[in-house]
Amino acid sequence: MPYVDIFPSAVSIENIGRNFTKEENDICNAEFETAMHNVGNMMGADQYVLNRPELSTLRSLIQARLNAYLDEVFAPHNDLEIYITQSWFSWLTPGQHFHEHQHQNSLVSGCLYFSADRNQDALILHKKEFQQIYIPTKPEDTNKWNAHIATIPVGTGDIVLFPSKITHSVAPTQGQHLRTTLAFNSFIKGSIREGLHLLDLDL
| Domains with residue ranges and CATH for the chain | 12-123+154-202 (2.60.120.620)
User: What stretch of H or E contains 110?
Assistant: strand 108-115
Task: Give this prediction's pTM.
Answer: 0.94
Q: Alpha helix (H) ranges present in the chain?
A: 22-33, 56-69
What pLDDT score was predicted for residue 60? 98
Distance of CA 36 to the CA centre of its chain: 20
**Does the structure show a pLDDT above 90 at 91?**
yes
**Does the structure show a pLDDT above 80 at 196?**
no
What mean pLDDT is predicted for residues 136-148?
91
197 vs 112, residue with greater confidence: 112
